[in-house]
Amino acid sequence: MIIKVESSSLVEVLESAKVIIQVNMVQGNALTKIDGDGTPIVFSEWQLLPIVGNIKHQRVQRLEYTFQDILDGKEKSQGVLTHKDSEELDLFDFLDEDYNPEEEEQDIKKQYAPVRITKVYKKELEG
């Protein structure tokens, strides 16, 4: 299906296409089930949501699955993040008396928001 896009939206379409292609190109060690950064290999699924109104407003939901989850036959709830995007880490977090690594792990349990297909590049989270 081909949809004509206004020139003002062309940048959003291109940026969204880059994100989808980048996320779908997964590299890692299938034996250890981790990628080059030492994090679990993650696959993304792009689920088309029912069209409401105009087809130009097609929305998608990004779902993520680790390689281990796929091998174990586990299913993730819709949009739950299974990894964090790259971020700066504070080397001295462990010195903070209030620092609790389990709290950080809970912060990961966010969901990608359903977005228009041209807005995928924003990587919007619910919440």
Tell me how far apart the alpha carbons of residues 53 and 60 are, in angstroms, rounded to a whole number.
Answer: 15
Predicted confidence at residue 34, as pLDDT, reads 93
Tens of pLDDT, residues 32-70: 999 989 999 999 999 999 988 887 788 999 998 889 888
**pLDDT of res. 107:** 42
What is the dihedral angle through the alpha carbons of 26, 35, 67, 62, rounded to the nearest 10 degrees?
Answer: -50
What is the length of the chain? 127
pLDDT in tens, 69-100: 888 887 655 455 555 554 555 666 556 666 56
Which residue would you say has higher pLDDT here, 81 or 26?
A: 26
Q: Is there a contact between 108 and 125 (Cβ–Cβ < 8 Å)?
A: no
Q: What does the radius of gyration of the chain's CA atoms come to, in whole angstroms? A: 17
